[in-house]
């Protein structure tokens, strides 16, 4: 069955934001988390306000940059919202674009494992925002527990695919400390992950209750 998905934005000609080459960001509606500082609040707004795409419709639109993707080793970065919820859509999109485009995904990994199993064969680069590995900090910040995130991290590690993952470890003002971030990184290193992006959230969005 052809997948369909609501898309909140398509941003072309991104450089060096998420790996090599020229990329196009495709951001899906819907998220499993409710972060206190949501970086993409559109993903939580009314669904009816956004266009629905099939994989073919998306491919027809983004293929305008095919030459840039091939020349630079770039491709598509799927974000959101939580793009792993769209595993059917993304696997059908891979069938359309073939192997030459680099497909990346920006995810919090807080989804049922079957989505990750489906996506591992088709995604080249995983950019994983783990928020914080401390379950209490995580739940306070995202309003959801991190059980699925932990299971999925362990699943990726068991497959020996750590080298495909970049782990984002944010310092979140008012929610964690640099020491917490160090502890998160140490826990991830113990699982065999080696690539980390440490940064501080800027409080551009109002904190939700
Ligand atoms: S994971 Fe991203 S899109 Fe989802 S609530 Fe958090 S900041 Fe917003």
At 152-165, the pLDDT tens digits run: 999 999 999 999 99
With a 6 A CB cut-off, is 108 part of the ligand 1 pocket?
yes
> How do the domains of the chain map onto residue ranges?
5-200
Q: How far apart are CA 100 and CA 65, in angstroms?
A: 13
With a 6 A CB cut-off, is 35 part of the ligand 1 pocket?
yes
Indicate whether this model's pTM tops 0.85: yes
Q: What is the pLDDT of residues 89-121, one digit of tens each?
A: 999 999 999 999 999 999 999 999 999 999 999
Distance from the alpha carbon of residue 40 to the mean position of ligand 1, in angstroms: 6
pLDDT bucket at 36, cuts 50 / 70 / 90? very high
Contact predicate 161/152, CB 8 Å = no
With a 6 A CB cut-off, is 40 part of the ligand 1 pocket?
yes
Separation of CA 144 from chain center: 17
With a 6 A CB cut-off, is 34 part of the ligand 1 pocket?
yes
Ligand 1 atom at minimal distance to the Cα of residue 31: 4
Residue nearest to atom 6 of ligand 1 (CA): 35
Question: For domain 5-200, which CATH number applies: 3.40.50.720, 3.20.20.70, 3.30.420.40, 3.40.250.10?
Answer: 3.20.20.70
Q: How far from 3 is each of 64, 101, 111, CA to CA, in Å?
A: 22, 20, 18
With a 6 A CB cut-off, is 43 part of the ligand 1 pocket?
yes
Distance from the alpha carbon of residue 33 to the mean position of ligand 1, in angstroms: 6
Q: pLDDT value at position 209?
A: 44
With a 6 A CB cut-off, is 170 part of the ligand 1 pocket?
no
Q: How far apart are CA 10 and CA 3, in angstroms?
A: 18
Q: What average pLDDT does this structure show over 163-186?
A: 97
Sole residue written with tokens 């990184």: 185
Contact predicate 80/30, CB 8 Å = yes
Q: How far apart are CA 7 and CA 45, in angstroms?
A: 12
Report whether pLDDT(205) > 60: no
Separation of CA 65 from chain center: 21
């Amino acid at each position: 069955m052809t997948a369909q998905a609501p898309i909140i934005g398509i941003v072309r000609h991104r450089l060096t934001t998420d790996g090599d080459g020229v990329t196009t960001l495709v951001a899906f509606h819907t998220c499993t988390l409710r972060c206190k500082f949501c970086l993409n609040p559109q993903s939580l707004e009314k669904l009816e306000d956004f266009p629905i795409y099939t994989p073919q419709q998306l491919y027809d639109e983004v293929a305008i940059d095919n030459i840039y993707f091939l020349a630079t080793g770039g491709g598509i970065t799927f974000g959101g919202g939580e793009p792993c919820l769209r595993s059917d859509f993304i696997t059908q999109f891979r069938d359309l674009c073939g192997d030459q485009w680099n497909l990346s995904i920006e995810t919090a990994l807080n989804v049922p494992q079957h989505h990750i199993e489906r996506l591992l064969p088709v995604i080249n680069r995983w950019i994983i925002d783990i928020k914080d590995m401390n379950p209490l900090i995580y739940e306070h910040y995202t309003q959801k527990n991190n059980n699925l995130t932990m299971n999925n991290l362990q699943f990726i590690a068991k497959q020996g695919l750590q080298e495909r993952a970049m782990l984002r470890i944010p310092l979140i003002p008012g929610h964690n400390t640099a020491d917490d971030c160090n502890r998160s990184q140490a826990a991830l290193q113990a699982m065999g992950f080696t690539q980390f992006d440490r940064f501080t959230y800027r409080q551009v969005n109002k904190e939700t209750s």
